[in-house]
Amino acid sequence: MAGSDITAPAPTERPAPDTVKILIAGGFGVGKTTMVGSVSEIAPLRTEEPLTMAGLGVDDLAGIEEKCATTVALDFGRITVSDDLVLYLFGTPGQQRFWFMWNDLSLGALGAVVLIDVRRPESSFAAIDFFERRGIPFVIAVNGFHGEHPYPVEDIRESLTLPEGVPVLLCDARDRTSSRDVLIALLDRLIATAAPAG
Amino acid sequence: MVTTVEPQPVEAARPQPEHTRILRLCAEPLAVAEIAARLDLPVSVVVIMLCDLLEAGRITVRPPHHVTRTTPDLDLLQKVRDGLGRL
């Protein structure tokens, strides 16, 4: 019986961490995958389903020359906020025909980031409508093509006809700090609206 | 959040290869979407397999933090905010 008194190390009863999620929305090619990837501590994961024939001809790919493959499923990233709290990022296309996915995803989400490509802001309108109608708090992040921002924030805000109080930020989705700051702006907005008035 | 239960219950049936892979992955808690991505399977398929495993007592599942719009959890928001600030 030698050795039998050596008990196997008790499975570390570390409880599963609490989890929260934030959605990253926007039209095709606006940089959702890039943003999830730049702030995630894991390589961004993707459960990918190829674009169906129904999508061909409908998805306007003009102006996104460098993007040859597009996703209809989830981009997925993770940020360990603390020992017992993990933040998940979910990016999926914001087109109306994918709203069935958003309905599930948005359950229990803290809020959302709507990414905008200034060259094609209209591709993100559906995402804005989605969150607005459901009362899900969101911020607008304008992703500069090659990190450049030719238009002032106020012009962009005006062109989007946003509800009062929705923050508009300029960002570079490729940059970790820039993308993190967008998430922080969302949290600041959530905290500001959650705090009892006065 | 899905976590594998160790040791496995004695009466456990022999699992499918996918089940085995899930159990191996979930030694540390993992989100459903992450499991799906790692297995390269659609989320809907993974959910069905997770239900099998849950029924067999092989995994535990912890639902995401419950967030309500009416009574926001300020402490939670502040915690996430602080965590992001440390990145």
Interface predicted TM-score of the whole assembly (ipTM), two decimals = 0.79
Chain A residues inside the 8 Å CB shell of B64: 19-21, 108
Residue A49 and residue B64: Cα distance in Å, rounded? 25
Instruction: Evaluate if residue B76 carries a pLDDT over 50.
Output: yes
Among candidates A17, A74, A82 on the partner chain, residue whose Cβ is nearest the Cβ of B1: A17
H-type alpha helices, B1-87: 17-25, 32-39, 43-55, 74-85
Given an 8 Å threshold on Cβ–Cβ distance, is B60 in contact with A16? yes
Q: Domain ranges in chain B? A: 2-85
pLDDT over 70 for what percent of chain A? 76
Average pLDDT over chain A, rounded to an integer: 80
Chain B residues inside the 8 Å CB shell of A88: 31, 33
Reduced to 3 states, what is the DSSP secondary structure of residue B23?
A: helix
Split at pLDDT 50, 70, 90, the class of B41 is confident
Which residues from A are below 8 Å from B when comparing CB atoms? 11, 15-21, 39, 42, 45-47, 49, 73-74, 76, 78-82, 85-88, 90, 108-110, 135-136, 176, 180, 183-184, 187-188, 190-191, 193-195
Among candidates B29, B34, B82 on the partner chain, residue whose Cβ is nearest the Cβ of A16: B29
Chain B residues inside the 8 Å CB shell of A106: none
Output the DSSP codes for B61-81: E-PPPP--SSS--HHHHHHHH
Residue B80 and residue A80: Cα distance in Å, rounded? 9
Mention every residue, 6+ apart, whose C-beta is less than 8 A from residue B52: B19
| Between residues A64 and A83, the one the model is more confident about | A83
Chain B residues inside the 8 Å CB shell of A108: 64-67
To the nearest whole Å, the CA of B76 is away from the closest chain A CA by 9
Residue A198 and residue A36: Cα distance in Å, rounded? 35
pLDDT in tens, A173-198: 999 999 999 999 999 999 998 876 54
Q: Tell me, what amino acid is at A155?
A: D
Q: Does domain B2-85 have CATH number 1.10.10?
A: yes
Whether A180 contacts A39, CB under 8 Å: yes
Residue A15 and residue A25: Cα distance in Å, rounded? 31
H-type alpha helices, chain A: 32-39, 99-105, 125-134, 153-160, 176-194
| Between residues A134 and B82, the one the model is more confident about | B82
Smallest CA-to-CA distance from B63 within A21, A50, A174 is with A21
Residue A179 and residue B14: Cα distance in Å, rounded? 45
- Tell whether B45 lies on the interface with A, counting CB pairs under 8 A: no
Given an 8 Å threshold on Cβ–Cβ distance, is A76 in contact with B67? no
Average pLDDT over chain B, rounded to an integer: 86
Whether A94 contacts A124, CB under 8 Å: yes
Domains of chain A: 18-193 (3.40.50.300)
Given an 8 Å threshold on Cβ–Cβ distance, is A47 in contact with B3? no
Q: Return left, alpha or beta for A35; rule: phi > 0 is left, psi -120 to 50 is alpha, else beta.
A: alpha
- Tell whether B67 lies on the interface with A, counting CB pairs under 8 A: yes
